[in-house]
Copies of this chain bind each other. A is one copy, B any other.
């Protein structure tokens, strides 16, 4: 039961308070699961069947292009949802990898079960609507940042906005998340250190 606390309070923070019977419903459909570090929960070519809520842990979503370069599309940790959303929502083969960066505890629900839940319980649909809308606002911000800022500014921004990530994600992953090479990020960081002292 304790494990559920975080996700229920996540519902509440989005203005959706579940009744006792709804919590029961939740239990039936969401499955608890432990994911080991380096384990993949999504791989290209396979449909991303379930939506994943992270109780505790860190994940990285990325694509690999024809030249073999990796590009980080998303990071996610405690209290976030993670998926290849294009694959999950449309139930088409994924283009992303999603991998655990540390041992993690998650809850997962299948798309089909989620649809059932949405249809039968208005509150769940409200939650997922709000969740998706917040997601859009979030992605819109990221696109603006990518279009308007230099590599260095994007790094600074990330530093200020997500300090909690800095020690939990490898630098090469962060570099490709910010749209630059590992080498270049390394230079930016050193430039800063030298300037400061």
Contacts and interface: CB of A to CB of B under 8 A. Distances in A.
A147 interface: yes
24 contacts: A69-B148, A71-B147, A73-B140, A73-B144, A73-B147, A84-B140, A85-B133, A85-B137, A85-B140, A86-B137, A122-B122, A122-B125, A125-B126, A128-B129, A128-B133, A132-B132, A132-B136, A136-B139, A143-B143, A143-B146, A146-B146, A146-B179, A147-B176, A147-B179
Contacts of A89: 133-134, 136-137
A65 interface: yes
B148 A71 contact: yes
A146 B71 CA distance: 10
* Interface residues of chain A: helix, strand, loop or mixed (majority): helix
Q: Kindly report how many copies of this chain are found in the complex they form together.
A: 2
Interface string A130-157: 0011111101111110111000000000
Interface residues of A, number: 35
Contact of A143 (B69, B129, B142): B142
Interface of A: 63, 65, 69, 71, 73, 84-86, 89-90, 95, 118-119, 122, 125-126, 128-129, 132-137, 139-144, 146-148, 176, 179
